[in-house]
Amino acid sequence: MPEELKDKTEPTVSKVMRTPRSLIIEITSRCNLRCRYCYFFNNPAMVYRDLPANEWLTFFDELGSLGVMKVTLAGGEPFIREDLPVLLEGIVRNRMRFSFLSNGGLINDEIAAFMAGTGRCEYVQVSVDGSCAEVHDSCRGQGSFDGAIRGIRTLQRHRIRVAVRVTIHRNNVHDLENIAHFLLDELGLPDFGTNSAGYMGTCCGNADDVLLNIEERKEAMATLLRLTAKYDGRISSNAGPLTDGRMWRRMEEARAQGKPAFHNGGRLTACGCPNNKISVRADGAIVPCNMLAHVELGRINHDSLAEIWQNSPALNQLRNRHSIPLTGFEFCAGCSYIPYCTGNCPGLGYTLTGMVDHPSPDACLRRFLEEGGAIA
């Protein structure tokens, strides 16, 4: 945080619920793939060490006692754990539901049947980045497309909800129309989500080959906005070109018409995650978010999660980002979009600027326009 802002941002901790509703847990640091834009690998904050099942089971007991409702199992690739059924039993025993973030390639009938049998699986998110192997495998490796589709079909056979996520990058930005047709028409999925490769982990070393340039971002936004209309809302996003396209259109309209500031506009309000969920790294470190893996708040089975949740100074500082005005940042000086801007993802802000309490340059509309961008 810039020095001059500190006096203005005296912590006024907003009301926080007693315990988190949900957690994202990286149950393994192992993965069967090495994707070219993976945020997890080549991330200096990560410790690539797995915990034995009994450590997770003890932690799940704590979550149960705190009334946590749901855990999302991630990695690495969560289905790589041979003892996954034991972990799922621990989650079920503690009256929680679960979901997965997966590449799909290790999902087989045996584990799918087990998951379906628990009745507690919310969904499995499988990454699909192309309408064919050539496009998908370009960043994820040979054979990964077939594995993902095989995994999706296995889940569908067992009536487990599949939530596909398409990560948009330079190699698939021209394939979006085909991807939408493939996922929604051919595979028959009810919907899918999108984001884009971000400057984190392995991606930092492949940025020139992977990250969208200005022209490609324009194309992605225009295509996705057109496709969402065509498919009547069956394409969603929380980040990436579709989110940017929608948000920036609103911001430009508001600025042009001199509308009042947006609710929570003009301050670092973008991320509400620390108010209802928290994350755990594969090595057991408790962190605010997988995108902020360097902010260690404590360790599972050594520190009380409830104590961390309620009293961690680092977590409360993150929750109070909303009190930091964008007008105090040199980066934002003179920007006419400030009343409508929320500063966006602190994780991406950190990797791009080295500061958590800084707006993310990646989501800066002014910069996008100055570099030749246009609003779709």
Partner 1 sequence: MNQTDRPIANPIVVLREEFDDWAVLFNPDTAEAVGTNPVGVAVWKRMDGKRSIEDIAAEIKNSFEDAPDAAFKEIAAFVNRLAENGFVGLELESK
Binding footprint of partner 1 on the chain (CB under 8 A): 15, 17-19, 21, 67, 69, 92, 95-97, 119-120, 122
Distance CA 342, CA 353 (A): 16
Least separation in angstroms between residue 14's CB and partner 1 is 12
11 touches 317 (CB < 8 A): yes
* Residue closer to partner 1, measured from CB, 92 or 187: 92
Distance CA 267, CA 328 (A): 10
What is the end-to-end Cα distance of the chain in Å, rounded?
33
- One-letter amino acid identity for 204? C
* Residue closer to partner 1, measured from CB, 92 or 207: 92
Looking at residue 330, the DSSP 8-state letter turns out to be G
* Residue closer to partner 1, measured from CB, 95 or 174: 95
139 touches 37 (CB < 8 A): yes
Distance CA 156, CA 176 (A): 23
C-beta atoms surrounding 99 within 10 Å: 21
Least separation in angstroms between residue 70's CB and partner 1 is 8
Distance CA 37, CA 204 (A): 8
Side-chain-side CA neighbours of 6 within 13 Å: the count stands at: 3
* Residue closer to partner 1, measured from CB, 67 or 193: 67
Nearest Cα neighbor of 108 from 159, 161, 164, 150 is: 150
Least separation in angstroms between residue 122's CB and partner 1 is 7
Distance CA 282, CA 298 (A): 13
* Residue closer to partner 1, measured from CB, 122 or 191: 122
Least separation in angstroms between residue 266's CB and partner 1 is 27
Least separation in angstroms between residue 120's CB and partner 1 is 6
Least separation in angstroms between residue 167's CB and partner 1 is 27
* Residue closer to partner 1, measured from CB, 53 or 63: 63
Distance CA 245, CA 129 (A): 20
Least separation in angstroms between residue 61's CB and partner 1 is 14
* Residue closer to partner 1, measured from CB, 120 or 366: 120
105 touches 111 (CB < 8 A): no
Least separation in angstroms between residue 123's CB and partner 1 is 11
Q: Per residue, what are the HEC states of 12-67?
A: CCCCCCCCCCEEEEECCCCCCCCCCCCCCCCCCCCCCCCCCHHHHHHHHHHHHHCC
Which backbone phi and psi does 243 adopt, to 5 degrees?
-65, -45
- One-letter amino acid identity for 170? R
* Residue closer to partner 1, measured from CB, 120 or 181: 120
* Residue closer to partner 1, measured from CB, 5 or 69: 69
Least separation in angstroms between residue 20's CB and partner 1 is 10
Looking at residue 320, the DSSP 8-state letter turns out to be G
- Angle between helix 84-93 and helix 53-65 axes, rounded to 10 deg: 20
Place of tokens 């797995």: 50
* Residue closer to partner 1, measured from CB, 67 or 361: 67
Least separation in angstroms between residue 97's CB and partner 1 is 5
